[in-house]
Amino acid sequence: MLVKKNVDGGRRRSLNGNPDRRGNYILYWMQQSQREAWNDALEYAVAEANSRKKPILVAFALTESFPEANARHYVFMLEGLVGVEEALAKRGVGMVVRLGDPRVEIPKLARDAALLICDKGYLRVQRQWRTAVAANVNCPMVEVEGDVVIPVDSASAKEEFSAATLRRKIQPLVSDYLKPLYRIKPKSDSLGIKLDSFDIGRPRVLVSKLKIDQSVPPVNWLRGGTAQARRKLKYFIARRLDRFDELRNDPSHNYQSQLSPYLHFGQISPREVALAVAGTESPGKNAFLEELIVRRELAINFVYHNEHYDRYEGIPEWARQTLAAHARDKRAAHYSARELEEARTHDPYWNAAQTEMVVRGKMHGYMRMYWGKKILEWSKTPQEAFSTALFLDNKYFLDGRDPNGYTGVAWCFGKHDHPWTERKVFGKVRYMNDKGLRRKFDMDGYLAKVNTWKDETTTLEAVR
At residue 456 the predicted structure's pLDDT band, cuts being 50, 70 and 90, is low
Quick one: average pLDDT of 209-236? 97
The end-to-end CA distance of the chain, in Å, is 54
C-alpha 149/C-alpha 183 separation (Å) is 18
Q: How far lies 36's CA from each of 32, 91, 187, 326, 460, in Å?
A: 12, 9, 17, 51, 37
* pLDDT of the residue at 5: 58
C-alpha 437/C-alpha 443 separation (Å) is 7
Is it the case that residue 390 has pLDDT exceeding 90?
Answer: yes
C-alpha 255/C-alpha 241 separation (Å) is 8
CA 464 centroid distance within chain:
28
C-alpha 318/C-alpha 304 separation (Å) is 21
What are the tens digits of pLDDT across the range 79-123?
Answer: 999 999 999 999 999 999 999 999 999 999 999 999 999 999 999
Quick one: average pLDDT of 144-169? 98
* pLDDT of the residue at 435: 97
* pLDDT of the residue at 463: 43
Quick one: average pLDDT of 230-243? 98
* pLDDT of the residue at 10: 87
* pLDDT of the residue at 351: 98
Is it the case that residue 7 has pLDDT exceeding 90?
Answer: no
At residue 153 the predicted structure's pLDDT band, cuts being 50, 70 and 90, is very high
Is it the case that residue 49 has pLDDT exceeding 90?
Answer: yes
* pLDDT of the residue at 453: 85
Quick one: average pLDDT of 118-132? 98
The residue extents of the domains of the chain are 308-463
Is it the case that residue 4 has pLDDT exceeding 90?
Answer: no
At residue 184 the predicted structure's pLDDT band, cuts being 50, 70 and 90, is very high
Q: Which of 135-139, 154-158, 457-461 has the lowest mean pLDDT?
A: 457-461
* pLDDT of the residue at 87: 98
* pLDDT of the residue at 187: 97
User: What does pTM read for this prediction?
Assistant: 0.96
C-alpha 455/C-alpha 420 separation (Å) is 40
Is it the case that residue 457 has pLDDT exceeding 60?
Answer: no
Looking at domain 308-463, its CATH class is mainly alpha
